[in-house]
Structure 1
């Protein structure tokens, strides 16, 4: 398993190298160069986009932030992933501190939101999620974990469809924690997976308290393919300190409290 993950990591590092110097992507040519199928390449590109490492557009892609990609040594191949993981953990830990004993919370399919489970410690919390990966998470002794059920969306191991939405419609949560592919004042929150839009929005609708969006700064100002909610449905944005001051001001003017966290 570790060997497979290493192969995937090295391959995606090579893809990032390519994108850093070539905004126009010929998928067939790049797939041949990497000795993989075009389908595998498209999956890798989508995964990198979901992680906020790249921004895809018709006919090309670019790095999402001012990330310096180079090939100086093998030891540097995981630098980007390490940086983003560090931001995710800082955001998730802060979010976990907002949760009180007795809370019922929603967590969506986001990898960042899922990390909240690792920081709940001994809190007595009921967690409702459509994230199938929650089954492999480390959870505290007093956490009641409830999966929505539903159709499995394989790439993200998320639970989607009418059954999952129906279950959510019967629950009222105290707080909602959503990871997103993009968040912007003019377009709200968005995702790269069509099937997850109804799930995310149902979580927002069935939350009686604050709705927290957990997103690193590379996702701020972006709009992905599918909208999950309007900006006035969000109460807080928890992000990292790399967010621009102008973006903070825009969100605050739209009623969203922004929490920029130091992560270094």
Structure 2
């Protein structure tokens, strides 16, 4: 197969699927993974695709390295976030030891909590206050306060989380992609999220439909690491790649 033909087929596959892995392209084109990698570099340099770790995504997908502040996030998909938060809160059981990630959807979970005898750890200082006011035992991680997202990040926070063994953790995300996984614009927040996930028995990522086919600067987990709780998925291919609960169904 000529190089031009391969490139044309790659662009077609990427645009049809929104994102595609190197392994999938290797099978489609019947060529080695190293050949696919070289082709992706060329096409990315030509501005025809976006190269990501393990594959490529369509130029139609949204990429962002800019973090919205809490006020901006709170105004997006408010009804959907509330439905997701309500469902997630019901998953918490008596005796659970829970990590609650900083974020607007995870914060809404607190309003729906009814079960008692639960201990929480959080890197969200607003979350910690709300949990304490409701009478829950809550620990807040040490580290650096990031004002824009009201989150605690940094090496101290990561080290703290590595010493815990959570029964469940509930995580927010800025983007979900078939190739890039769960992403966030801030590398330090990504490290915190990754540490919490590795210390948890059950992992849930709370994300409304607007987060799908979005990619930010840093990946903190692959899609197989968590159950996604969302209102709906805009791309049905995610059903094949991840464990997803649609609360809007």
Q: With structure 2 as the length reference, what TM-score do the two structures score?
A: 0.67
- 1:1-264 to 2 correspondence within 5 Å? 46-47=67-68, 81=75, 84-137=77-130, 141-208=134-201, 210-234=202-226, 236-241=227-232, 243-244=233-234, 247-248=235-236, 250-254=237-241, 256-262=242-248
Is contact 1:50–1:192 with CA below 8 Å preserved after alignment? no
CA RMSD of aligned residues (A): 2.4
Cα deviation, residue 47, structure 1: 2.0
Q: Which has the higher strand share?
A: 2
In the other structure, the counterpart of 2:52 is: none
> Gaps (5+ residues) in structure 2?
1-65
- Cα distance, 1:138 vs structure 2: 5.5
Matches of 1:231 and 1:50 in 2, distance apart? Answer: 27
Say if 1:148 and 1:215 are closer, same or farther in 2 by CA, change over 3 A. same
Instruction: Go from structure 1 to structure 2 and tell me whether the alpha carbon gap of 1:196 and 1:230 turns closer, same or farther (over 3 Å shift).
Output: same
Separation (CA, whole Å) in 1 of partners of 2:142 and 2:80: 29
Change (3 A) 1:221 1:182: same
Report the Cα distance in structure 1 between the residues aligned to 2:131 and 2:144, rounded to whole angstroms: 24
Gaps of 5+ in 1: 1-44, 53-79
**Count of equivalent residues:** 184
How far apart are the structure 1 equivalents of 2:238 and 2:90?
Answer: 22
Q: Could you tell me how far apart the structure 1 residues matched to 2:132 and 2:115 are? A: 9
- Which structure has more relative contact order (CA 8 Å, sep 6+)? It is 2
Instruction: Give the superposition deviation at 1:137.
Output: 2.2
CA contact (8 A) 1:108 1:200 kept: yes
Write out per-residue CA displacement over residues 81-113 of structure 1, whole angstroms, 9 at most, x where no aligned residue.
3x6221111111100001100001111122111
Consecutive aligned runs of 4 or more in structure 1 exceeding 3 Å deviation: 48-52, 138-142
C-alpha displacement at 1:230, in angstroms?
1.3
Return the TM-score normalized by structure 1: 0.64
Larger radius of gyration: 2
- Deviations along 1:211-264, one digit per CA (max 9) or x if unpaired, are 111001010111111111112212x111113x22xx34x23322x22112229x
